[in-house]
Amino acid sequence: MDVQANYERWLNSPRVSEEDKNTLRGMTQEQINDAFFKNAEFGTGGLRGVLGPGTNRVNVHTVGRISVGFAKYLLDKFGKKANQMGIAISHDNRYFSREFTLLAADIFNKMGIKVYIFDDLRSTPELSFAVRDNGCCGGIMITASHNPKNYNGYKVYDEKGCQLVPDLVEKMLKFIDALPDELSYEVPQAKEKGELVTLGEETDNRYYARVKEVQVHPELDKKDFRVVYSPQHGASYEGAMSVFSSLGYEIIPVKEQCVHDPNFGATLSPNPEVATAWDLPLAYARKYNAQLVVMTDPDGDRCGLAYRGKDRRYHRLTGNESAALLIDYILSEKKKAGVLPANPVMYDTIVSSSLGRKVAQSYGVSVESFLTGFKFIGSRIGYYEDQGKGPKFVFGYEESYGCLASDFVRDKDGIQAILLYTEMALFHYRQGRDLGEAYEELQQRFGYHLAIMKDMYFEGMEGNATMQRIMKSLHERPCPVIAGTPVAYVEDYLSDRRIFADKGKKEEKIVGLPASDVLKFFLNDGSTLCIRPSGTEPKVKFYIEVVGEKKGLAEKAEALYEGFLKDAGIN
């Protein structure tokens, strides 16, 4: 892409506002390069990027063009039925989220498609529910999830309330790519404009009722069990509080973070995976002597938690740790009650800890693993649903605090998660255990597992080129030894190959997964290391897991990471 030509095109276009042109004139060359070196792209969580003018930015022009392309895709797929089936659109608290929502709604209406739009912000899982509840042909969620405040994004959903998987994204992109550029496209005008329908409390209440059905032991005594909750300024506040209060839990909201502030003014980070996101919620927990702290991210699809231990201190659990505990709780209690379905299945991802799989398999639950992106889990649920046979879904999760317990939603659901995590913590509390003790018991049964994730950022045009060079080199020459430990085999998901170090073993084909720029190393000692570029931010993610019979695996995990950087020649 010609950076300077596109920069000049924006400066000279009558469609670009004077405010945006002034922003463009004030850019450094490095900022110009980053804003124009490519078009904003769809990744693991839809399109997500920095707000502002430019082809590699999220703005009214890029959002409008995508909306026209998505509408054309739906009209091609469903024909005239798309007009009446309609599309549901929701948004979070971010800058321009409401404006982008109204823009997309107007485009779909002009193109003759009915639009269901909420009266205010709603969470990602409720958007997925609304698509299914109203029989829509698709959905849009305007959000950048847990990214910093200068980001926004655009998630697209199919008729089952599941984010589009790659082969469907490719079909949609053909319609987008066939359009003139973001400053030249036109919105086709249908003979009959689509209807605009506002969704409100009735949809909310139907969704909340389904959320409450995920409880395993609703009869548990909730007295003197206090829970601090933060929505991180996001879309889950009203829904989570409605569900919790109606079930009798003593919930203490972090009031400063319950304001729908696009500036995220009362938090140091809106990401539950980041330690500083917990500063204020943990201060509340200490003030009110709470047993548990739960948090949803801004669009409400992810959930983190921290528990009060016997040492009176608060301890955070990772997504892998909390999910393993929840899997054990749900499956063990359902098995005791005789309500665990026949032929059950759990879904996770290739970067999830092996502990969750071991727990599920111990209850006779089969496990299927997918690439990162909850859309693959939602799609698999729909696959068996279409077949009318196959295993019965009982749980799905990603290591990044995303899980789903009931498939009336086809994306991860933070409100389902915080309800079940709270119930699980209460269950163990009534039996005299904190969640740390429960997790220790789990590891004594299945072995000690430590999974960590590391990030390495590659900002801008040059960083993107460096990241691509690193991944290309690793695909061509994967490390045979990492930190002194031989690699048993490598799974290359770009070429769909399983490559063994033992030359006597023939390569195997990885089946059932789409090609993806990911490598996973399996070491002789049972450790694993997976590397993949993020689909939502300019960085590479490293997922490391070490296992053993004893505690104290942190040093080994860090050594494995540092050794990989050295052995792979990554600075």
- How would you write 339-364 as a 3-class SS string? CCCCCEEEEEECCCCHHHHHHHHHCC
Match domain 3-191 to its CATH number in 3.40.120.10, 3.40.1160.10, 3.30.420.40, 3.20.20.80.
3.40.120.10
pLDDT of residue 536: 73
Domain boundaries, the chain: 3-191, 208-446, 448-568
Over residues 302-313, the pLDDT tens digits come to 999 999 999 999
Average pLDDT over residues 471-499: 94
Number of other CB atoms surrounding residue 140 within 10 Å: 28
For the segment 111-138, the average pLDDT, to the nearest whole number, is 98
The secondary structure of residue 41, as a DSSP letter, is -
**List of residues 6+ apart from 372 with CB closer than 8 A:** 44, 349, 350, 351, 398, 518, 532, 535
User: How many CB atoms lie under 10 A from the CB of residue 5?
Assistant: 9
Cα dihedral 558→397→237→67 (10° resolution): 100
Give residue 46's pLDDT.
83
C-alpha distances in Å from residue 219, one per residue of 328, 417, 423: 19, 18, 10
Report the distance separating Cα 13 and Cα 501, nearest Å. 57
**Secondary structure class of 22 (helix, strand, coil):** helix
Note the pLDDT tens digit of each residue in 138-171: 999 999 999 999 999 999 999 999 999 999 999 9
Tally the C-alpha atoms within 13 A of residue 203's C-alpha that lie toward its C-beta.
Answer: 24
Say what the pLDDT of residue 460 is.
83
Residues in CB range of 267: below 8 A, 6 or more apart: 230, 232, 233, 257, 276, 277, 279, 280
**Whole-angstrom distance, CA of residue 452 vs CA of residue 353:** 9
Question: Alpha-carbon distance 458 to 463, whole Å?
Answer: 4
CATH fold for domain 208-446: Alpha-D-Glucose-1,6-Bisphosphate; Chain A, domain 3 (3.40.120)
Percent of the chain with pLDDT over 90: 92
The DSSP secondary structure of 149-214, one letter per residue, reads TTEEEEEEE-TTS-BPPHHHHHHHHHHHHTSPPTTT------SSPPPEEEE-HHHHHHHHHHHHTT
Give tens-digit pLDDT for 539-570: 899 999 999 988 889 999 999 999 999 988 88
* Mean pLDDT, rounded, for 163-187: 96
- In whole angstroms, what is the distance from residue 486 CA to residue 506 CA? 18
Give CA–CA dist 149/255, Å, rounded: 19
Same CATH topology for 3-191 and 448-568: the answer is no
Q: Is a pLDDT exceeding 80 seen at residue 462?
A: yes
- The pair of structure tokens assigned to 211 is 């959320």
Q: Could you read off the pLDDT of 26-74 as tens digits, one per residue?
A: 999 999 999 999 998 887 678 999 999 999 999 999 999 999 999 999 9
Sequence-ordered list of residues with C-beta below 8 angstroms from that of 233, at least 6 positions apart, any chain: 93, 257, 258, 259, 260, 261, 262, 264, 265, 266, 267, 270, 298
pTM, two decimals, is 0.94
**Terminus-to-terminus CA distance in the chain, angstroms?**
28
- Averaged pLDDT of the chain: 95
Residue 163 burial class via C-beta count within 10 angstroms: exposed 0-12, middle 13-18, buried 19 and up: buried
pLDDT at 537: 77
Q: List pLDDT tens digits, range 376-435.
A: 999 999 999 999 999 999 999 999 999 999 999 999 999 999 999 999 999 999 999 999
Report the pLDDT value the prediction gives residue 466, as an integer from 0 to 100.
Answer: 87
pLDDT value, residue 459? 83
> What does DSSP assign to residue 51?
B
Q: Around Cβ 340, how many Cβ atoms within 10 Å? A: 18
Dihedral pair phi/psi, residue 187, rounded to 5°: -90, 120
Distance from C-alpha of 413 to C-alpha of 125, rounded to nearest angstrom: 5
Active site (catalytic) residues:
145
According to DSSP, the β-strands at 196-199 and 115-118 are: parallel
Residue 59 near residue 52, CB atoms below 8 Å = yes
CA pair distance 513, 145, nearest whole angstrom = 25
Q: Does 571 score more than 80 pLDDT?
A: no
pLDDT number for residue 465: 87
Residue in 56, 51, 41, 68 with CA at minimum distance from that of residue 6: 56
Q: Supply the pLDDT for residue 44.
A: 66
Which tens digits make up the pLDDT trace of 494-532? 999 999 998 889 999 999 899 999 999 999 999 999 999
pLDDT digits (tens, 9 = 90+) for 318-372: 999 999 999 999 999 999 999 999 999 999 999 999 999 999 999 999 999 999 9
CATH superfamily of 448-568: Alpha-D-phosphohexomutase, C-terminal domain (3.30.310.50)
Instruction: Count Cβ neighbours within 10 Å for each residue of 187-210 and write b for 16 or more, e otherwise.
Output: beebeeebeeeebeeebbeebbeb
Percent of the chain topping pLDDT 70: 99
Taking Cα atoms as reference points, which of 505, 531, 533, 507 lies closest to residue 520? 531
CB 306 within 8 A of CB 317: yes
